[in-house]
């Protein structure tokens, strides 16, 4: 069916890379942490989907279910001085840094106790306390802001770095190229992380670009780049570790392209297999077999690092805390009317 030529090859093929993740040599506690973090994101986002279905959340919610391995793999190398910026699909970026589930759900419900005081909703998250400096839906808009955060880190003479998360669609924006050029010219400490899920909204990448491999833009700007299976948290983590260290050592920017797929539509909890040129039920089913969480669990199980009971216990624990957070968020107050004019300008 796909007559379009893919430069990503196997990486874009849902049938490939569905095998269990090879966890040999990996530390058990690290693997458990990755699993917990991915499950936390998955279950929280499923809860967000429910809030949308039930009509309680009206803010546009772009779910990253199926993409959890990327934020978790990248965050493993970050420290609290680092500056992370995201886009419209950023729940995972915030949560993977240790962000508060309650604060996220309250924000999505437009409550005063949300991470942005209920002023932003799902697409405008402030997680500065965990290093998440913000996200916005204008495509590629936070890429230059992340470059500026990297410039600030360099001027500080600190070891902090910036991380810029964006999707494959961002590579079609002009500012993306300005940013790669600026970061390369000034050797800024930033890791660009492209979550290439092969679709921008409804449209297949090969109907938008002559190649589906985004790392080619980094190469054009003489930025060190790598393309990995984004649904393999260990592959993401090891490349991210290398690139974060590279940027932290002042050697310049790096570019990590992680190929993935979202299980839900562009916005909202539905599958959206009825839109898009290439997105079909069978392709979605194939990608679900390439699920980053299922593959990690399978790899851990085959190495006897975890069993079904332990997985079930983890799930239960996370479901309970997400349900508690949801209940509390539903009961939280809305922002006062005074916030409408009170937050436009600073007082001093």
Partner 1 sequence: MNTPAEVTYGEAICQGFEYLLSNYRNVFAIGQGVWSPWYVGNSMTGLEERFGKERVIDTPVSELACTGAAIGAALCGYRPIVIHPRMDFMLLAVDQIVNQAAKWSHMLGGEVAPAVTIRAIINRGGEQGAQHSQALHAWFAHVPGLRVVMPSTVADARDLLVASVLCDDPVMYIDDRWLYSRTAALEEIVERPLIGEGPVVRRPGSDVTLVGTGFSSYLCEQAAERLDDCDIDAEVIDVRVVNPFDPRLIIESVTRTGALCVVDGGWAPAGFAAEVIASSCEAIPPTTLTAAPLRITLPFAPAPASRALEECYYPTEASIVAGVQRLLGARSPVSTDKFSSLTPQPAIAKRGKSR
Instruction: Summarize as ranges the residues that interact with partner 1 (CB under 8 A).
Output: 83, 85, 114-120, 124-126, 128, 133-134, 136, 138, 141-153, 155-156, 162, 174-175, 178-179, 181-182, 185, 339, 342-348
Angle at 249 between CA 245 and CA 251, to 5 degrees: 100
Strands 199-200 and 203-204: antiparallel
At closest approach, how far in Å is the CB of 151 from partner 1? 5
Longest distance between any two alpha carbons in the chain, whole Å: 61
Shortest distance (Å) from residue 133 CB to partner 1: 6
Shortest CB 301 distance to partner 1, Å: 41
To the nearest whole angstrom, how small is the minimum distance from the Cβ of residue 93 to partner 1? 15
Question: How remote is the C-alpha of 183 from its chain's centroid?
Answer: 21
Tokens of 207: 């109907």
Residue 346 Cβ vs partner 1, minimum distance, rounded to whole Å: 4
Cβ-contact 13, 232 below 8 angstroms: no
Query: Judged by CB, which is closer to partner 1: 333, or 342?
Result: 342
- Cα dihedral 292, 244, 63, 329 sign: positive
Q: Which residues does 263 contact at the CB level (< 8 Å), separation at least 6? A: 63, 65, 66, 271, 284, 287, 288, 291
Cβ(227)–Cβ(67) under 8 Å?
no
Distance CA 212, CA 270 (A): 25
**Cβ proximity to partner 1, 4 vs 141, nearer residue:** 141
Cβ proximity to partner 1, 115 vs 233, nearer residue: 115
Q: Are 122 and 61 in contact (CB under 8 A)?
A: yes
Q: How far is the CB of 310 from partner 1 (least distance, A)?
A: 38
138 HSE (CA, 13 A, CB side): 9
Taking the C-alpha atoms of residue 245 and residue 159, their distance in angstroms, rounded to an integer, is 10
CB-nearer residue toward partner 1: 207 or 340? 340
Min dist CB 167 to partner 1, Å, is 17
Look at the block and give the residue holding tokens 């839900």: 264
CA angle at 146 for the pair 224 and 66, rounded to the nearest 5° = 75
Judged by beta carbon, residue 69 or residue 148, the one nearer partner 1 is 148
Of 85 and 214, the one with the shorter C-beta distance to partner 1 is 85
The least distance separating partner 1 from the CB of residue 78, rounded to whole angstroms, comes to 15
- Phi and psi for 228 in degrees, rounded to 5? -130, 165
């Amino acid at each position: 069916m796909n007559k379009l030529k893919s430069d990503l090859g196997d990486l874009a093929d849902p049938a490939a890379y569905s095998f269990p993740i090879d966890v040999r040599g990996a530390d058990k506690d690290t693997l458990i942490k990755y699993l917990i973090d991915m499950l936390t994101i998955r279950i929280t986002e499923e809860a967000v989907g429910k809030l949308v279905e039930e009509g309680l959340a009206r803010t546009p919610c772009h779910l990253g279910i199926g993409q959890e391995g990327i934020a978790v793999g990248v965050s493993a190398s970050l420290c609290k001085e680092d500056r992370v910026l995201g886009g419209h699909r950023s729940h995972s970026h915030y949560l993977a840094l240790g962000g508060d589930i309650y604060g996220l759900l309250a924000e999505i419900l437009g409550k005063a106790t949300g991470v942005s005081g209920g002023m932003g909703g799902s697409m405008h998250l402030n997680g500065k306390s965990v290093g998440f400096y913000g996200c916005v839906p204008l495509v590629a808009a936070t890429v230059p802001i992340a470059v500026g955060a990297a410039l600030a880190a360099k001027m500080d003479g600190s070891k902090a770095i910036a991380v810029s998360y964006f999707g494959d669609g961002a590579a079609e924006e002009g500012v993306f190229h300005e940013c790669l050029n600026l970061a390369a010219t000034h050797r800024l400490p930033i890791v660009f992380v492209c979550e290439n899920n092969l679709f921008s909204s409804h449209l297949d990448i090969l109907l938008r670009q002559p190649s589906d491999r985004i790392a080619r833009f980094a190469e054009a700007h003489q930025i060190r780049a790598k393309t990995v299976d984004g649904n393999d948290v260990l592959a993401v983590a090891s490349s991210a570790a290398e690139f974060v260290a590279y940027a932290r050592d002042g050697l310049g920017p790096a570019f990590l392209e992680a190929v993935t797929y979202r299980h839900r539509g562009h916005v909202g909890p539905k599958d959206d297999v009825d839109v898009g040129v290439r997105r079909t039920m069978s392709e979605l089913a194939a990608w679900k077999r390439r699920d980053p969480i299922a593959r990690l669990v399978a790899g851990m199980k085959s190495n006897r690092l975890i069993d079904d009971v332990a997985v079930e216990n983890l799930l239960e624990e996370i479901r309970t805390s997400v349900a508690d957070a949801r209940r509390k968020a539903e009961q939280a107050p809305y922002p006062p009317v005074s916030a409408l004019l009170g937050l436009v300008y600073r007082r001093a």
